Chain A
Amino acid sequence: MKLYAVAAFALLTLISCSSDKPPAAATTELAPTGPALSPDEANGATLTGKVAFTGAKPPLSMIDMSANPACERAHKDAPLAAEDIVVNPNGTLKYVFVWVKSGLPANQRWAIPATPVVLDQSGCQYKPHMIGVMTGQNVELRNSDPTNHNIHPQPSLNPEWNDSQAPGGDPKFKTFARQEIMIPVKCNVHPWMRSFIGAVNHPFFAVTGDDGTFTIVGLPPGTYVIQTWHEKFGTVEQTVTVGAKEHKAVDFSYKG
């Protein structure tokens, strides 16, 4: 037994000596320990950027709500367009999820924000269409409509659920325990309703808005892989290195 242990140790040493990097398996399997940190906005780096869209702007696809009078009434003046591809007037792309895919110390715990991220159902539409949330952070689900909705996230790494929410019902609070990019959310009653939730186990993520830009603050100095995710156009990655207090711009681009 002792001999085996010695042999195994020798083998391990050999393996770890033969590569410059520390053995990946050993570090990722370590359970995060130590105090939970929050992004250090004063000393950390700030990443900003914008997600450009090139190519022909796809035509808007209008949602037909005629099956549900309560929904149709909410948009009787202006019919609603699907939000799967939203190209901003400045030629950028809205609803792109941007997050630090790798590069953070694996065994660092990050403080979970106490404030929940709100996902509202209003006008038979998820508002907003895309959210990012930290693993363990509450998502507050609201129903501001006069009709019943059901919230049905379809994750593959987190448990699936499908809850009914009555009009005027109390908000529901849900969390996702594992990192998953992205979790589609649908409403079976109103099949056009679609939202995406990015659950990340650190606080460095953002969603592009009306100007197609994003900002990630408080990043510790280091080299990171930044990934963008779009529901129709897929993912793009870039590697950046930032120093303390550095402001760095990283721009992405999708082609239609």
Chain B
Amino acid sequence: MTPPVKDPVIHSSLSRPLAVSALLLLLALAWSLYDETYSIRPWKSYQSRFAKLYSRFLDQASAGQSELERNLKASPDYRALDSALQQSERESLPAVAAIDRQINQQLAPQILALNEPFQEVRSRIAALTYQLETSRSESAKTDLRRQIDQLKAETRFAALSAQLQSLKDEKARLLQQRVELMRPADALRARRDRYLADRLPGASTATISALRTSLTNFDIRIRQIHVKDVDLVDRCESCHLGAREPVTLTKASMGGEAVFASHPNPELLKLHDPEKFGCTPCHGGNGVAVASVEKAHGANKFWLWPLHAKENIQAGCQQCHAREILTEMAPTLNQGREIYRARGCIACHRYESFDREADEISSVTQQLRSIDQQKSAWTREAALSEAQANDPRTSDEDARKLLAHINDLKLRASLLDAQVDTLDTRSRSLVREVKKTGPSLKEVRAKLRPEWLPVWLKDPRQWREGTKMPSFRLADPEIRAISAFLWQSALAASPPPQAAGDPARGREAFETRGCLACHSLGEGSARQGGNFAANLSRIGEKADYSYLVRWIHNPRQRSAPYCAFEKRDLTAEDYRRHNLPFLFDLDHSRCPNDGHELQVQQMTPMPSLRLSEPEARDIASYLMTRKHDNVAYPDAPYLTDPALKSQGLALVRNYGCANCHEIAGLEEEPRIGTELTREGSKPIDRLDFALLTAQANAEGWLTHKGFFDRKLQNPAIFDTGKEKSAQERLKMPDFHLSKPEIDSVSTFLLGSVDATVPPRYFNTRGQDIADGWWVVAKYNCMGCHQLHPGQSSLLQLLPQYQDADSRDRLPPTLIGEGARVNPAWLLRFLANPALSDTLTDRNGVRPYLRVRMPSFSLSAGEVQKLARFFAALASQAQPFVAAPLDPLTASELTLARQLFASEAAPCLKCHMTGDPKHDARATAPSFALAPDRLQPAWVRRWLLDPALLAPGTAMPSGLFRREGDRFVFAGPTPPAFASYPKDHADLLTRFIFKTR
């Protein structure tokens, strides 16, 4: 008997699995709820914390603020303003109330009553008119016209319309009257509120209470910026809730949570509205991610644009400001760019837009070549057309067309000729613009003591602190070979011997002529001066005196010109063959052999101070005294060993010496480094961490920043543990950068990325200004001049310019220069600061200053860039058109002359006039220069209050006082002025410009 089959319905119970699954389901639900609220939406807890902290902050702020506000409101000034306001309101109240009554009780109800029937009739007329316009039959049209006229007549439409309009006019008139009545009270109220706002440092209690109200409706949700046209989504403000609040929130005031702090630079935010720019284009990070802080900040693997570290925060500016050397409000980035430019990174590592002269030369060459091709194509076409036109089988009609076509081609070719002329000039001027980071090594035999060379190469920084020359980790045999090559490849010529000068006079000249704006003297804490150029504390140990005299007299003078076409330095023999004297300068810059433009200048930014030869000798004699005592350099007989020369050449090539220095035979050496224009967005696996990869990964610096920071700190770091021959080793030398300098260069490199925003976001405004800063940086104009508010020149900070009198001996400020001077004059001045071809040993504008505006031998292109730069900085219209001045009448001329020369007017006590006896004591620029040099509008502003344009100037304020709508001289005026009704400042301005 088989056991009875158990009934599954009765005997099996599913309650256990069900209970288990139910429990699991419940747990899953609980977990999902928890996950929903806390794990995958961490921003929710941020938001609730923010709401709590913010409302606490607002409570405290409102308490403090209202206390302050109460005190201010109790002040007599405020109370006076307030009672004046109430008084004024009381006075205008009856009239205003009458107007309000009339409007509200009479006009408004009448207008309302008339408006409805009027609107109705008007729409009926409009409907009939539409029918009339669209109907096709003439009879229907006539009928409709009749209907319209009838309707108008029935409703007396014209009268209705006129009545309504007159009521509305009356209302408008009364409202205007009301505004007029309230005007004094409104003005007083604005003054009272301004008084309060000016004295309350933070937000007013009104703002705070508005914020508190809005906080009561605070809802927890994702807060995102969506820039549609770029498809940018940034949800950063889901956690960074305080970033754009109208009150300043700090970490401390928000319970120590930095995440809720306000954006630290509201001004920057005003320029870059987050609604348009988002957050991540500037800051990096992954704007869409909200799942975790790590993901949102882009700190996860393979995300190419992680959030910039605090010290590199300005890397983001480079996205849109990539072609600039100076970006406002980005000092770290600017410093990084300047190091990249001036310390010679650019010499080995190409960087788009930094290599301006070389890039322009290749672009000019390219354009000239394509123009040449175009022209020869047209010449061929013209010849063919002519042949065809001359063919008897061609019809007369076609022949005429062909001849016309030939003429067109000739005209077009002639237009290209004009372009060729411009490009030729530009290419000649570009030869002048190219500078090298280091000095020419073609001259080492003329300028150096031989034994010094190997000592220098061993450790440049040991010999001269703060030098631009980096350390190359050279072994002694390498040093010997390189020294021998440089010595033997250098030019044999040396400058004529010079008589000794007076070191005491030389010292005085060195300290007052402005040398210290670029050079420094003294070591350690005694160091003073600029670091744009070399520290000269030990120059006497290495330099040749005669060469130094030549260098100081004219730093651009070469021993031989270089012909880029023949790729060699020319000799006297080259000139003799063409019966020419061995003469090469900016006026004699063509190669006698082939007519190509020669390099006739040293490729240094050092300008000529136009000093006399005796003064150059004095300064050189002083500098030769600057040396350490009892320094012995070992003999270096190997310098002349011919066997070492080829060995040295290989090393010089390997280390890329010619990237920074002019070296004979290596003028056209290619760059040895990699291009860095997009280094910040190079895939991380293409940065060679070598044997340190694992360590970097473990320690969390397998990032661009990790690579840049460490490489700059120790350029050989990624050779660690590698088996390499000397030639294979990493070549980058050590620049001995400080931590802030490394941060700045890293910032620059981190910002050097493929932009994440489209090109239309790139900053192209102020191109003239951006171009100008490059020239300013190249020649260190800011060593002597102030160019923008908040900046000091280097000279200004030197101890010898600190006392009250010496400040008058500083170079002028150039803030507002574009509005001060006539750009045509500025072009002339920059090309020749002596303003004379014969009297060159002087300042053209301020001959009374010891400090000298040097001649930079700027190219025409650079001079124009500077003139446009100053004009753009001062918001001047370009091109410049001088505003016409009313001519002086005969009586005005007499008046102006009397005032000018009167004892009450101090003009002639300081300003030069052109009379040598008078000018010997003058301390201000010549009136004779003014008509050409200055702009009348500026002169008038200068006369009225010079301290506004140049704080601290020797020119006094208060020479004029306001009298009605004109300015009159603030002192006794000659009697004839009693009947002169016009503006005195204007009269003097026109007098100053009378010679034009």
Contacts and interface: CB of A to CB of B under 8 A. Distances in A.
Contacts of A164: 906, 956-959, 970-971
B807 interface: yes
A162 B904 contact: no
B971 A148 contact: yes
Contacts of B906: 148, 150, 164, 189
B956 A163 contact: yes
Nearest to B252: A4
Nearest to A146: B903
Nearest to B920: A67
A33 B32 CA distance: 63
Tell me the interface secondary structure of chain A in the complex: loop
Interface string A140-177: 00000011101110100000111111111100000000
B496 interface: no
A169 B952 contact: no
A161 B957 contact: yes
A166 B971 CA distance: 5
A168 B904 CA distance: 9
A7 B804 CA distance: 49
Contacts of B972: 166-168
A4 B256 CA distance: 10
B958 A68 contact: no
27 contacts: A1-B255, A70-B903, A147-B904, A148-B905, A148-B906, A151-B956, A154-B807, A160-B951, A161-B947, A161-B957, A162-B946, A162-B952, A163-B956, A163-B957, A164-B958, A164-B970, A165-B958, A166-B972, A167-B904, A167-B971, A168-B972, A186-B804, A186-B805, A188-B808, A188-B923, A188-B956, A189-B910
Contacts of A234: none
B79 interface: no
Contacts of A166: 904, 969-972
B956 A150 contact: yes
Nearest to B807: A154
Nearest to A150: B956
A200 B996 CA distance: 52
A184 interface: yes
A90 to B, nearest CB: 31
A4 B972 CA distance: 68
A147 B970 contact: no
Interface residues of A, number: 28
Most buried by A among B256, B906, B955, B970: B906
Chain B interface size band reads 20 to 34
Contacts of A186: 804-805
A58 interface: no
Given A147-B904, A161-B957, 13 more contacts: A67-B909, A146-B903, A161-B947, A162-B957, A163-B958, A164-B956, A164-B959, A164-B970, A167-B972, A186-B805, A188-B910, A188-B956, A189-B909
Given A160-B952, A161-B947, A188-B910, A148 B958 contact: no
Contacts of B958: 163-165
A162 B950 CA distance: 11
B565 to A, nearest CB: 57
B953 A162 contact: yes
Contacts of A161: 947, 957
A154 B905 CA distance: 23
Contacts of B808: 188
A161 B909 CA distance: 19
B951 A169 contact: no
Given A164-B906, A169-B970, A188 B256 contact: no
B953 A147 contact: no
Contacts of A70: 903
Contacts of B804: 154, 184, 186
Contacts of B903: 70, 146-148, 167
Contacts of B970: 164, 166, 169
Interface in A94-116: none
B798 interface: no
A191 B809 CA distance: 13
A166 B969 CA distance: 9
A186 B906 CA distance: 15
B921 interface: yes
B954 interface: yes
A148 B904 contact: yes
Contact of B923 (A4, A168, A169, A191): A191
Interface string A36-54: 0000000000000000000
B562 to A, nearest CB: 50
Contacts of B951: 160
A15 B23 CA distance: 60
Interface in B960-977: 969-972
A12 B910 CA distance: 59
Nearest to B808: A188
A151 B959 CA distance: 12
B971 A169 contact: yes
Contacts of B807: 154
Contacts of A189: 906, 909-910, 956
Contacts of A152: 954, 956
A164 B905 CA distance: 9
B952 A154 contact: yes
Nearest to B803: A184
A191 B956 CA distance: 13
A2 to B, nearest CB: 11
A76 B474 CA distance: 75
Contacts of B947: 160-162
A60 to B, nearest CB: 20
Contacts of A168: 971-972
Contacts of A160: 947, 951-952
Contacts of A151: 956
A181 B255 CA distance: 44
A144 B804 CA distance: 25
Contacts of A188: 808, 910, 923, 954-956
Nearest to A154: B804
A15 to B, nearest CB: 20
B812 to A, nearest CB: 15
A167 B903 CA distance: 8
Contacts of B969: 166
Contacts of B955: 162, 188
B256 to A, nearest CB: 7
A163 B951 CA distance: 12
A165 B971 CA distance: 8
Contacts of B959: 164
Nearest to A169: B971
A70 B909 CA distance: 11
Contacts of B956: 150-152, 162-164, 188-189
3 nearest A-B pairs in the assembled complex, by CB-CB distance = A166-B971, A150-B956, A164-B956
A24 B900 CA distance: 57
B184 to A, nearest CB: 32
A191 B909 CA distance: 10
A189 B906 CA distance: 7
Contacts of B923: 188, 191
A67 B953 contact: no
B256 A68 contact: no
Contacts of A167: 903-904, 971-972
Interface in B887-923: 903-906, 909-910, 921, 923
